[in-house]
Amino acid sequence: MKEGPLAKVVLFGERGDHMKKPVTKGATLALGLSLAAGACAAQTPTAIQSRPQLVVLIAVDQMRGDLVDRYAGIYTGGFRRFLDHGYRFSVASHAHANTETAAGHATISTGVFPSRSGIVSNNWDERTADTWAPMYALGDSLSPVLGVEGMPGRSPKNLLRSGLADWVLAADPQARAVSLSSKDRAAITLAGHSRAETYWIAPTLARFVTSTYYRSAYPDWVTRFNETRMLEIVADSAWIQSVPESQRGLARPDSAAYEYDGIHTAFPHLAWLESDSSRPSRNAWALGAQPRADRAVQLLAQEAVKALDLGQRGRVDYLGLSFSSTDYVGHAFGPYSQEQLENLMHLDRQLGELFAFLDREVGEGRWVAGLTADHGVMTMPEHLVSSGEDLAARRIDPAAVAGGLQAAVTEATGAGGSYDQVAERLARLVEQRGLVAKAYTHRELTVGEPADSFATFFRNSYYPGRAAGDLSRLGVEVRFGYHHLVSRLTGTAHGSVYWYDRYVPFLLLGAGVHPGSSGEAVYTVDLAPTLAGLAAIPAPGDLDGKPVYR
């Protein structure tokens, strides 16, 4: 099956042996930490000084891989520095099916697939005795948000593997780690299980918060930032287009009826006008879907470097950063919109400022960074049709799909039989009725060779007892049609197994990295072990990923 115009498809078996081996269940966090710690050899002072003193792991939420080239003409800052002075793998992707934020960040951080990290989606149903209970990926009622009454607790409790931050701290207990994002599911997964300084933005409060898992009180540098810089950032609520007229042709024309809410579809965007007190998700968008949210992450990162002397104490420290505005903007306006062009121009400048800051504070050549994304996104189907890229692209009413699937569930379960028999019956029903392009039972995903390349990606997303969707509880995973958007009536989404959702950047920059590029197929599970290798940090020996740059 061809995946369409974007598909320089990298399928199962096209790479090294580590992509061919079956996924092994039951690898625990304790094993990962012990492997990392056990591999640590004593470092001589000379060896330490020759290594980068700061490892920076960067995820840009929803930055599809083609946006690196499409908008290259406006890049003058951080992305330009990656392209001119860093090393780029141009064919990089996720190798799992559920391309969502929590799963993607956990994969990037741990170097293993969701089938082993346990973070299979943003939300899932967890098997408890004979019932299923809803679970948020980073939910933990025993770790309330610090200083905020009534806000749901957060921690890495559900994450089953160690991550790059854990490996850094296992190699040197005196090292320091910081992880920051607009989103809790990004900041926490990039921090692994470490007690790193981990902060995310509470949109309704417009301030950075953490949970009691990490701290018992906020440090002065975070409190000061919330009370000064954060207030300044939030006050700047008007988003006005600043991309030069000559560069606006890189994106499609501003304003389309299929964007955002069908009303606020063109510049300028005014947060006070586009927010809604009755819809918290709208308020989150009003803050997040502008460059200012990423600006806050960048500036707090710089405060962290100064306050904690990251990379300046003869230790190898860790800084994890996830920039989320690209995701908010992308969902509302799409990857080829004027808004996304504007947003990525600002992020490029913010990254450029951050890297210049690190050169001054840590020292040029004394830090190393890797950048990727947690997932891609589907281009607006209306644009795919009007541009002639895919005349079959379309939106499908999610209510109609849900109704058809529920009817199939009722019929499949009503006929009785064993769990596997019901799953097999349900899978064939949804296929025969044209509700999905393909259905896979959990038995098909876990026994024998995968039926096709997509089945491999679904296998890499499956963890027993964690069901991402109604059909998953009944033992079935489904693949909808290519470029068939079923979750939104305006805007766009991600989450599929297709190339446009799996295709992401893979960029390296800094100490030990020489300018260049490669068309070798690499995967997001490779980034953490690659950065660990560049910093001489021992990583667990049983990862799904491997160092791809030496």
Residues 325 and 452 in one domain: no
Question: Residues 347, 404: one domain?
Answer: no
- The predicted pLDDT at position 245 comes to 96
Residues 443 and 505 in one domain: no
Q: With respect to residue 177, please indicate whether it lies within any of the assigned structural domains.
A: yes
Q: Are residues 512 and 470 in the same domain?
A: no
239 and 214 co-located in one domain? yes
pLDDT of 204 reads 84
- Counting Cα atoms < 13 Å in the Cβ hemisphere of 510 gives 30
For residues 464 and 507, state if they share a domain.
Answer: no
> Can you list the alpha helix ranges (DSSP code H) found in 195-324?
220-227, 229-235, 271-274, 280-288, 291-308
Which residue, 149, 192, 195, 159, is CA-closest to 175? 195
On whether residue 335 sits in a domain, the answer given is yes
Task: Please count the structural domains in the chain.
Answer: 2
Does residue 22 form part of some domain?
no
Residues 371 and 519 in one domain: yes
Chain-centroid distance of CA 226 in Å reads 25
Domain that holds residue 459: 397-479
Cα–Cα dist 165/195, whole Å? 9
pLDDT of residue 550: 81
Q: Which residue has the tokens 């992305």?
A: 79
Q: Do residues 175 and 63 share a domain?
A: yes
CB 144 within 8 A of CB 151: yes
* pLDDT for the residue 289: 67
Asked if residue 406 and residue 280 are part of one domain, the reply reads no
Rounded to whole angstroms, what are the CA distances from 502 to 37, 64, 444, 524? 32, 8, 22, 10
Phi, psi dihedrals of residue 429, rounded to the nearest 5° = -65, -50
Pair 31, 166: CB distance under 8 Å: no
Cβ-count burial 98-113 (b if 16+ within 10 Å, e if not): bbbbbbbbbbbbbbbb
State residue 21's pLDDT score: 34
Q: What is the pLDDT of residue 31?
A: 38
- Give the C-alpha separation, 54 to 57, whole Å: 10
Q: Do 330 and 471 belong together in one domain?
A: no
Please list the pLDDT of the chain residue by residue as tens digits (550 residues).
334 334 333 332 333 333 333 333 333 444 344 444 333 333 433 344 468 999 999 999 999 999 999 999 999 999 999 999 999 999 999 999 999 999 999 999 999 999 999 999 999 999 988 899 999 999 999 999 999 999 999 999 999 999 999 999 999 999 999 999 999 999 999 999 999 999 999 988 889 999 999 999 999 999 999 999 998 888 877 899 999 999 999 999 998 999 998 888 899 988 766 665 554 444 444 566 689 999 999 999 999 999 999 999 999 999 999 999 999 999 999 999 999 999 999 999 999 999 999 999 999 999 999 999 999 999 999 999 999 999 999 999 989 899 999 999 999 999 999 999 999 999 999 999 999 999 999 999 999 888 889 999 999 999 999 999 899 999 999 999 999 999 888 999 999 999 999 999 999 999 999 999 999 999 999 999 999 999 999 999 999 999 999 8
CATH of the domain at 59: 3.40.720.10
Q: What is the pLDDT of residue 270?
A: 82
The reply to whether 10 falls in a domain is no
Name the pTM for this structure. 0.91
Q: What are phi and psi of 304, to 5 degrees?
A: -65, -45
Pick from 13, 150, 113, 108: nearest CA to 521: 13
| pLDDT for residue 140 | 98
What is the Cα–Cα distance from 114 to 289, expressed in whole angstroms? 27
Q: Using N-to-C axis directions, what is the helix angle for 291-308 and 280-288, rounded to 10°?
A: 70
Cα angle at 323 between 319 and 328, to 5 degrees? 160
Q: Is residue 262 part of a domain?
A: yes
Chain-centroid distance of CA 201 in Å reads: 16
Same domain? For 361 and 404 the reply is no
Residue 29 in any domain: the answer is: no
What is the predicted pLDDT for the residue at 28?
A: 40
For residue 54, how far is the Cα from the chain centroid?
22
DSSP string, 72-117: GGG--SHHHHHHHHSEEEEEEE--SS---HHHHHHHHHHSS-HHHH
Residues 370 and 409 in one domain: no
Chain centroid to Cα 410, Å, comes to 35
Predicted local confidence at residue 288, as pLDDT: 63
301 alpha-carbon distance from chain centroid? 18
